[in-house]
Structure 1
Amino acid sequence: MIKTVRRLRLPALAAVAAAALTVAGCGSSSSSSSGSATTRADPGGKFTIGYDVYWLGNSWSTQLAEEFRAAAERNRDSIEKVVYTQSDNQVQKQISNVQSMISRRVDAIIMTPISPSASVPVIQQANRAGIPVILVAGQADTRDTAAEVRADDIVFGRTGAEWLVRELGGRGKIYVLNGLPGFSTDTLRWKGAKDVFDRYPDIEVVADAHAAWDTARAKTAVSNMLAAHPEVDGVWSQGGAMTLGAIQAFRAAGKPLVPMTGENNNGLMKVWDSLNRAGDRRFDSIGVVNPTWVGSEALTQTLNLLRGDEVRKVNLVNPAPITSDNLADYVRTDLPDSFWVDTRLDDAQIRALFDR
């Protein structure tokens, strides 16, 4: 993930803590899952949805929230209003925000748990109040949620690791760039990757760092790694913006690029595309996709649930990864680095989001 640039804005969400807006709903489909959940049916009614914006600290989370907002605008016939809160990546603030939604008797709550463990009591509180909680892009340490909509982060980590092992022929020294410690996304992505690396004794992790899915932090981290461990054959990164930072660090140090795993971040896509066009095959990557449109998918599942339809308990979305073969279909050279490709936003919504 990449740090939000100044021109990236979220007009409806940046100042909506505890505000109620009249909005609309959405429709779309999800991938696989397990189990199912149902709630009270009101097929012809209009609903009040609580949506907690867990963080606007990088462009992925900002685009996630915008995907939800745009989806809500698409179905105002189904939604009376959305009660938005903003938690700023603070656990206690998120708990308080969700409690405020419970007090307001919203029909459902959509949230991304900042802490998988600390969020459990408030999720259970909502459950006791008869308010279903739907998780988007995250997990909690409880079965008391009505549904989850997210990418499979273990598969995410494993997919990149398997690609890197193949690129290196099963042997070599690598750097590891993780995200934010404590987040289920960070933990599970690394678990998926480590399970692969553990099967290859000739793959050696010589340095690792948490770079918060941020380009600048990753550049600093990799610069330090290059100084301490200059011999390296590849980089496993669990975020595209961090991969971009790694490329910048290699270039600044005058080091030849090596294979690096990535994500569906437009900044990485643009650099990768330019290298491809220049015929520089020293660098290759894979864009494992964590789609921001899970924000709209969470609303789809929430509305289905409130209408009384059967909804899968866990909805996993795992789009095919981006490779050199299909990179040209995704890269947007006309958009900023902080854009995330594979979106359900239309061009007008994208340009409004980036204030171009």
Structure 2
Amino acid sequence: MKLKKLLLVASVLAGMAAPAMAEDKFTIGYDNYFNGNSWSVQLSKEFEAEAERHQDTVDVVYTESELKADKQVSNIEDMITRGVDAIILTPISPTAVIPVLKKAEAQDIKIVLLASTIRSDDYDALVTVDDVDFGKAGAEWLADKLDGKGRIIALNGISGISASDDRWKGAKAVFDEYPDIEVISVVDAGWDYAKAKVAVSNLLAANPEIDGVWSQGGSMTLGAIDAFEAAQRPLVPMTGEDNNGYLKRWTALEADGFESVAPSKPTWLGSEALLVALDMLQGEEVEKNKFYEVPMITSENLSEFTRDDLSDSFWANTRLSDEQVRATFQD
């Protein structure tokens, strides 16, 4: 935007007519950190849909980092070189991007962190839910279902990513309050169905008693369910997430007594990040750390969120239309 304004002034001084709309548009850099699961895909689609709604005021520079911290740093360097007005990113590492974000700040580029944090204050706004609260919510439900005692396993995402680390931090704080709850294993399953199924299968083979599963991802919970069923072990209370495939499975198993709860990290955060960036660029004050409340899906409202007419890959808390969802996830 700064370069555009300088060009506009120069063109006016030279007696030339300025482009009609160019001076009114902001250039925003958006780094898609990962396309390896349906949640991250839908997160980016939420941003794209919001950018389309603001196409008269926003141009977007898109990059993709493929869950590689060094590539994310390089992408941000490129955005700085291209003179963007704001950068929206989901930090892959809580530390690796700090030096390049400092460089962006020095050039008056606004920084919006989306759904993940860094270990510094070198940003202008954070748009997320509190992942510690996310972890606590599922853990409190599970502890209650087990009457404060039992042997449980925990399925985390990817160590080093703040969302995964913070969710387990919240859950562990709850379990530590219950001396009769024993966490027999904590596994990184990458928010992935296949990895979770293998991990839980191995744990079932080694442990004749598992009373509950705390999982911070819907696909991992699906893997856990299938592992229990393959081992012909009775299903135990498990926490999940608002993935439509998981919600469908939970609904189907309710008649057999399966119990669950699904905290949510809404994919509409991708939309919200752009709105926050625009507010800042238009001179409005925004809250630096915006933590939205963790939505909860329970047995009482499960039917309101489950969509039999949409893909299993769909995530329930969204601002996308059904048509946009279908275009994103073709079964």
Relative to the length of structure 1, the TM-score reads: 0.85
Larger Rg computed on CA atoms: 2
Query: In structure 1, what is the equivalent of residue 256 of structure 2?
Result: 280
- Relative contact order (alpha carbons < 8 A, sep ≥ 6): 1 or 2 greater? 1
Partner Cα distance (1:248, 1:332) in 2: 21
Partner Cα distance (1:141, 1:113) in 2: 10
Is the CA contact 1:207–1:229 (under 8 Å) kept in the aligned structure 2?
A: no
The structure 1 segments of at least 4 consecutive aligned residues displaced by more than 6 Å after TM superposition are none
Is the CA contact 1:290–1:318 (under 8 Å) kept in the aligned structure 2?
A: no
Amino acid of the residue matched to residue 325 of structure 2? I
Q: Is 1:355 paired with 2:330?
A: yes
Partner Cα distance (1:150, 1:119) in 2: 18
- TM-superposed CA distance for 1:266, in Å, is 1.0
Q: Is 1:159 paired with 2:137?
A: yes
Partner Cα distance (2:142, 2:163) in 1: 20
Relative to the length of structure 2, the TM-score reads: 0.92
- The 3-state SS of whatever aligns with 1:315 is strand
Query: In structure 2, what is the equivalent of residue 72 of structure 1?
Result: 51
Q: How many residues align?
A: 309
Is the CA contact 1:289–1:318 (under 8 Å) kept in the aligned structure 2?
A: no
Amino acid of the residue matched to residue 69 of structure 2? V
Partner Cα distance (2:187, 2:146) in 1: 21
Query: In structure 2, what is the equivalent of residue 211 of structure 1?
Result: 189
Amino acid of the residue matched to residue 153 of structure 1? D
Query: In structure 2, what is the equivalent of residue 114 of structure 1?
Result: 92
Partner Cα distance (1:355, 1:264) in 2: 19
Query: In structure 2, what is the equivalent of residue 270 of structure 1?
Result: 248
Query: In structure 2, what is the equivalent of residue 307 of structure 1?
Result: 282
- The 3-state SS of whatever aligns with 1:305 is helix
Which residues of 2 match residues 20-169 of structure 1 at below 5 A? 45-79=24-58, 81-169=59-147
- TM-superposed CA distance for 1:230, in Å, is 2.3
Query: In structure 2, what is the equivalent of residue 228 of structure 1?
Result: 206
- TM-superposed CA distance for 1:253, in Å, is 0.6
Partner Cα distance (1:133, 1:253) in 2: 48
Query: In structure 1, what is the equivalent of residue 15 of structure 2?
Result: none
- The 3-state SS of whatever aligns with 2:256 is coil
Is the CA contact 2:128–2:291 (under 8 Å) kept in the aligned structure 1?
A: yes
- TM-superposed CA distance for 1:320, in Å, is 2.8
Aligned CA-pair RMSD? 1.0
Question: Structure 1: where are the runs of 5+ without partners?
Answer: 1-43
Is the CA contact 2:311–2:326 (under 8 Å) kept in the aligned structure 1?
A: no
Query: In structure 2, what is the equivalent of residue 247 of structure 1?
Result: 225
From 329, 334, 354, the equivalent of 2:309 is: 334
Higher helix share: 2
